[in-house]
């Protein structure tokens, strides 16, 4: 199950999260959003409690969609300590998304469960 967040809960669930959060901006009418859902659930099960997965209905949360300058749906943002570390949009296909998710797993799954903001730059992970 993926936690659904809104403008009201975004700060607490995403910006202030002690672990990195993969935010899936989607909409009910978006066919590609439905297609990638199983891939995201698989990613979540593989990452366990190392990366949090949440969804945001872009239609119902226009302020967030504007803040993060969404150009297309789905758009995935990896947010760590309130900072966008990766932005995934305009997928060219299933393999493209799987490769991007694999890079996130490699970067985050074997790291310590707690970390300090000052150490974030030393992780060697690709940033946005």
- Told to judge if 107 belongs to the known catalytic residues of this protein, a careful annotator would answer no
Decide the pairing of beta strands 3-4 and 52-57.
parallel
Residue position matching structure tokens 């309130």? 82
- Give me 99's structure tokens: 């490769």
State the alpha helices, DSSP H only, in 51-118.
62-67, 94-108
* Catalytic entry in 33, 47, 107, 125: 33
Instruction: For residues 34 and 74, give the distance between their C-alpha atoms in angstroms, rounded to a whole number.
Output: 9
- Told to judge if 33 belongs to the known catalytic residues of this protein, a careful annotator would answer yes
Decide the pairing of beta strands 75-80 and 83-88.
antiparallel
Known catalytic residues are 30, 33
């Amino acid at each position: 199950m993926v936690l659904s967040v809104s403008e009201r809960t975004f700060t607490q669930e995403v910006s202030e999260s002690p672990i990195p959060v993969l935010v899936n901006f989607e909409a009910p009418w978006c066919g590609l959003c439905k297609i990638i859902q199983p891939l995201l659930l698989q990613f979540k099960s593989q990452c366990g409690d190392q990366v949090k997965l949440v969804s945001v209905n872009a239609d119902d949360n226009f302020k967030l969609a504007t803040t993060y300058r969404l150009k297309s749906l789905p758009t995935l943002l990896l947010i760590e300590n309130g900072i966008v570390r990766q932005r995934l949009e305009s997928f060219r296909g299933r393999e493209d998304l799987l490769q991007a998710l694999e890079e996130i797993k490699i970067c985050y799954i074997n790291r310590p469960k707690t970390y300090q903001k000052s150490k974030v730059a030393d992780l060697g992970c690709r940033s946005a």
